[in-house]
Structure 1
């Protein structure tokens, strides 16, 4: 169990909104290589480890996805804050008050921030508590001294940059794990643990089995490609 939790902590600590998954797949590749496995990466970005079994004609495929919900920068506002588009399906109120990172493609650095509704103060906006949270009124307030669009763009932020949410991972003394993105990184951690056990104990599976780590599940097409035709 401890090793599974270690894998899970590692995975949760790597930002991986759909479309921004190279880092987490690199981690998977390094881990399975250290366990002695070969792997392949598909053009779509999935990582597949094939473990040969006794029956090589009827295969099994097990999948877990390592991409998560997230956002991209939709616009830089005149006041220097950011408008967002969602990656994946979730209500806006689910991320209100959440810490986040903006991953800048221009310089490969990050800027932290907070996701808030524009009308945050009940002293100023009477509808602050009742207003519907939408794409138009939710924004990122950056942890940077910026007051206008020019200053924000000078940081390197551009439209299309990925935004990841703080997973807020907590592991209690009793072993409970609280975190965003347990869907589905907990499954990925379990698959890594299984691969470790199979390698160390030299277990031969009944069927050749493909362990597929997919990277587009949150937008609806995670493991629906690259499935071996012998899978039954």
Structure 2
């Protein structure tokens, strides 16, 4: 296991001074001049302390310069800080930001981005934006990311995707079984929704959630009623 110093007051001061000037180019130059061990410490300081103090606009400005220079080295650092900022209500996504990321992101970069952020995104609009931008024309990948995120907001986006896809019953059954295997109430309810809405046969087991026929149509009206059903 590679060890590194988590605390380096001089390096922290240099990084903080650069960040406070709001100059992504200067920060990149500073990082580029560090030794391997110093860079590990810098990544720790950035992810755990410094980037989490930025506004959403400042964060994305630094992201847009630093991450493309070496996504393998810096994306994880920025994503750790993104989780902290988002949970504090201080990080917003826009289509321009995500489209810019998509232009240089590798498939591994996109996977890391979605696997980190989809589970914490707390509204359906941002889930849709993430999937629409980073999984465009990649239906099966989108389904996989949404199933793994396992949040009500991700499940609503999954429902919307499945509604317009032409899938046979066996494929739908496979998704339903995946949901059942997760074992939590929200996923069980999602499995019930898909079973009833698409009239899938031979689903193993039974559900405590009961849906009336009129409710199936209301699921299409938008996220409000859908989320209410999932959270019963």
Shorter-chain TM-score: which interval? Answer: under 0.3
TM-score by length of 2: 0.21
Quick check: which one's helix share is greater?
Answer: 2
TM-score by length of 1: 0.21
Quick check: which one's strand share is greater?
Answer: 1
